[in-house]
Amino acid sequence: MASLMSDTAAHSDALGYSFSKSIPNPTSHSSGPRQHSFYPYTDNGGSTLGITGSTFAILAGDTRSTSGYNINTRHAPKVFRIGADDPSSRIVLSVVGFAADGNALKERLDTIVKMYRYQHGKAMSVKACAQRLSTILYSKRFFPYYVHAILGGMDEDGKGALYSYDPVGSYEREQCRAAGAAASLIMPFLDNQVNYKNQHVPGSGEGHALQQRQVTDLSQDTVQGLVRDAFTSAVERHIEVGDGLQMMIITKEGVQEIFEPLKRD
């Protein structure tokens, strides 16, 4: 890429465009002091996803951690229980992106949820926790936590809850969400298999008259199957995803954690 840039810079001079000056490109300046400026982020790859049903929520992520083409480790969980010292806690957070920020965010939210429990004598609701997570992320609006977070839990009506976030705190409650390296591979699959997008009732008409297939309530086993399929497929097509699958299944009974192998290539 750099060499491509400097080539065009040479051409553009002839054409009368200010490339060499307007594109700051250290490799094209051979003279003068070289600045290797510090970049505070990196991408550790991996993918996460969350799906809710009426009585449960599942958060999952692969366990690979990468640096460029290197695998740092095959076992680096991305899905964390929040406020887990209280057995009544039903909150789970997944973070994908820059792992150091992800860890810092996890620890911060965990501390806040624990402090809430100590100070108010009751567990924080997922709804409150979701809003709080948003404010944490936004508090670093101009030096963001470089992560896509998904928060899962059980809401006050006993239904599975799922909230997804952008790095600066914009959030939304959703049925399902994929995040991270293979989000663009998994999300369309989820749209089709969870919300039946592009599925129609056969023979219901032509063109706009075609009827959308009615969305149904999915069972826990079905959803677990979808998660597994989503990841085994993502592993095939994305180099940063693989090694292991971590699933957190949140129900009113508690939070269950499952690890399964994924392809390690």
Partner 1 sequence: MNHFPQAWGRPRDDIYGPYDSSHLHSSLPQSHTQSPAVTGTSVLGVKFKDGVVIAADNLASYGSLARFTDVKRLRTFAGTSVIGFGGDVSDMQYLDRLLQSLDIRENYSSHGHSLNAKNLHTYLAKIFYKRRSDFNPLWNNVLVAGLDDEGKPFLSQADLLGTTFSAPTLATGFGAHLAQPLLRRLVPHDEGSVKDVTREMAIDAVKECMKVLFYRDARSSDRYSIAVVTKEGEIEMKEDEKLEGQSWAFADMIRGYGTQVN
Beta strands in 63-181 (DSSP E): 65-67, 70-73, 79-82, 91-97, 147-154, 160-165, 171-173, 176-180
The tokens for 167 are: 């790095």
Contact with partner 1 (CB under 8 A) among 2, 26, 27, 75: 75
Q: Is residue 27 close enough to count as binding partner 1 by CB under 8 A?
A: no
From its phi and psi, is residue 125 left (phi > 0), alpha (psi between -120 and 50) or beta?
beta
Query: How far apart are CB 164 and partner 1 at their closest, in Å?
Result: 24
Q: Which amino acid is at 149?
A: A
Q: Can you tell me which residue has the tokens 């490339």? A: 19
Alpha-carbon distance of 197 to 68, in angstroms, equals 34
Stretch of 12-20, 160-168, 177-185, 230-238 contacting partner 1, by CB under 8 A? 12-20
Contact with partner 1 (CB under 8 A) among 67, 170, 204, 256: 67
Q: Is residue 87 close enough to count as binding partner 1 by CB under 8 A?
A: no
The tokens for 135 are: 């404010």
Q: Is residue 111 close enough to count as binding partner 1 by CB under 8 A?
A: no
Contact with partner 1 (CB under 8 A) among 6, 28, 55, 103: 103
Report DSSP state, residue 76: -
Query: How far apart are CB 104 and partner 1 at their closest, in Å?
Result: 6
Q: Which residues bind partner 1 (CB under 8 A)?
A: 5, 8, 11-12, 15-19, 21-22, 24, 35-38, 40-42, 44, 65, 67, 70, 72-76, 98-100, 103-104, 143
